[in-house]
């Protein structure tokens, strides 16, 4: 996609996001639900396999801007249409729900577009790239009346649900404090210089709503997590699960008015922009 076409795409999709969809949420029916997976890389592959094994769901589309990822998804789901432009999905009335597993910076934009097009949404964690986007998503879900599920899958875990019920039953008394602890050993992403994007990778569309920067091999697949414009670091990547469980255990629904954090980069001298150690 050229820079000119990229601007046109973003303008048209932004306009679409302002349209409110009036259809109701899923009605009880024996008919299968048409689903599309947007983003078929690492986590997206699990979405594809998951929908294929889900009763009453029919995987209609797989979508990715990387032809390699798209080809792999097409092998897993040969009956699904393989497309690189999510607008084809948004325009298809046979799709009632989308499953979003893109890089973080595309989570909310893709979800807003899907809601505006009348689709229900499952979106990977974190549901937004920042707090403002998260509020936009909550408001859009309320406005459209569509179902939105956030990919903090611990909420669907039977054993974690059982543990939470035990806390509610007072097994350990009053729960006053919860600590979230996330430990990951991440690889050194090195230091890279801008190069041309790989063949078959639509980098302009991948950038989407993010600032336009030249392609670098160490802010590409998965390593985008460690760049401010595209990811949310380990706090948003895995820490979101621990924080969610801690808040769930406390039974709190309100967000704090102030958060204090300290940290830094102590392990790798690389291009990563987020702290590798943080409290």
Average pLDDT, the chain: 90
Rounded Cα distance between 273 and 30, Å, is 49
Among 222, 215, 218, residue whose Cα is nearest residue 198: 215
Predicted pLDDT of residue 30: 52
Sequence spans of domains, the chain? 11-22+29-151, 156-279
pLDDT band at 25 (very low <50, low <70, confident <90, very high): very low
Over residues 88-127, the pLDDT tens digits come to 999 999 999 999 999 999 999 999 999 999 999 999 999 9
> Is 18 a residue whose pLDDT tops 50?
no
Rounded Cα distance between 225 and 57, Å, is 30
CATH H-level, domain 11-22+29-151: superfamily: NAD(P)-binding Rossmann-like Domain (3.40.50.720)
pLDDT (average), residues 186-209 = 97
Over residues 154-179, the pLDDT tens digits come to 999 999 999 999 999 999 999 999 99
- CA dihedral over 230, 232, 236, 237, signed as positive or negative: positive
Residue 97 belongs to what H/E stretch? Answer: strand 97-100
Over residues 225-262, the pLDDT tens digits come to 999 999 999 999 999 999 999 999 999 988 889 999 99
Measure the CA dihedral 138/139/143/148, to 10°: -10
> Is 15 a residue whose pLDDT tops 90?
no
Rounded Cα distance between 7 and 18, Å, is 17
Q: Are 109 and 49 in contact (CB under 8 A)?
A: no
Q: Are 230 and 224 in contact (CB under 8 A)?
A: yes
DSSP-derived 3-state class of residue 171: coil
Nearest-5° Cα angle at 258, 252 to 260: 110
Nearest-5° Cα angle at 149, 147 to 153: 155
pLDDT (average), residues 181-194 = 94
Q: Could you give the strand order of the β-sheet that contains 148-151, starting from the edge strand earlier in sequence?
A: 81-83, 57-63, 33-38, 97-100, 120-124, 148-151
Beta-bridged to residue 122, according to DSSP, are 99, 149
Residue holding tokens 């350990």? 172
DSSP 74-107: HHH-TTSEEES-HHHHHT-TT--EEEE-S-HHHH
Q: Are 78 and 126 in contact (CB under 8 A)?
A: no
Among 250, 212, 277, 259, residue whose Cα is nearest residue 4: 212
Over residues 36-89, the pLDDT tens digits come to 999 999 999 999 999 999 999 999 999 999 999 999 999 999 999 999 999 999
Over residues 133-162, the pLDDT tens digits come to 999 999 999 999 999 999 998 999 999 999
pLDDT (average), residues 12-33 = 47
pLDDT band at 31 (very low <50, low <70, confident <90, very high): confident
Q: How far apart are the first and last CA of the chain?
A: 41
- The DSSP bridge pattern shows strands 120-124 and 97-100 to be parallel
Rounded Cα distance between 101 and 12, Å, is 22
């Amino acid at each position: 996609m050229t820079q000119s076409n990229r601007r046109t795409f973003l303008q048209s999709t932004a306009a679409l996001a302002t349209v409110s969809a009036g259809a109701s949420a899923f009605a009880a029916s024996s008919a299968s639900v048409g689903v599309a997976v947007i983003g078929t890389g690492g986590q997206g592959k699990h979405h594809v396999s998951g929908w294929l094994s889900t009763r009453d769901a029919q995987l209609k589309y797989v979508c990715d801007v990387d032809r390699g990822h798209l080809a792999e998804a097409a092998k897993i789901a040969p009956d699904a249409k393989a497309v690189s432009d999510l607008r084809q999905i948004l325009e298809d009335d046979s799709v009632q729900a989308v499953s979003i597993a893109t890089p973080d910076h595309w989570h909310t934009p893709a979800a807003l577009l899907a809601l505006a097009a009348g689709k229900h949404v499952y979106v990977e964690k974190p549901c937004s790239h920042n707090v403002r986007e998260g509020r936009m998503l909550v408001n859009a879900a309320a406005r459209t009346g569509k179902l939105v599920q956030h990919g903090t899958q611990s909420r669907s875990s039977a054993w974690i649900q059982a543990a939470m019920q035990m806390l509610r039953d007072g097994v350990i008394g009053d729960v006053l404090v919860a600590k979230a602890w996330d430990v990951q050993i991440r690889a050194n992403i090195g230091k890279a210089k801008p190069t041309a994007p790989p063949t078959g990778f639509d980098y302009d569309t991948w950038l989407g709503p993010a600032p336009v920067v030249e392609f670098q091999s160490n802010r590409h697949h998965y390593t985008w997590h460690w760049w401010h414009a595209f990811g949310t670091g380990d706090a948003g990547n895995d820490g979101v699960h621990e924080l969610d469980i801690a808040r769930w255990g406390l039974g709190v629904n309100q967000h704090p008015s102030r958060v204090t954090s300290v940290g830094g980069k102590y392990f790798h001298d690389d291009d990563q922009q987020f702290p590798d150690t943080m409290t």
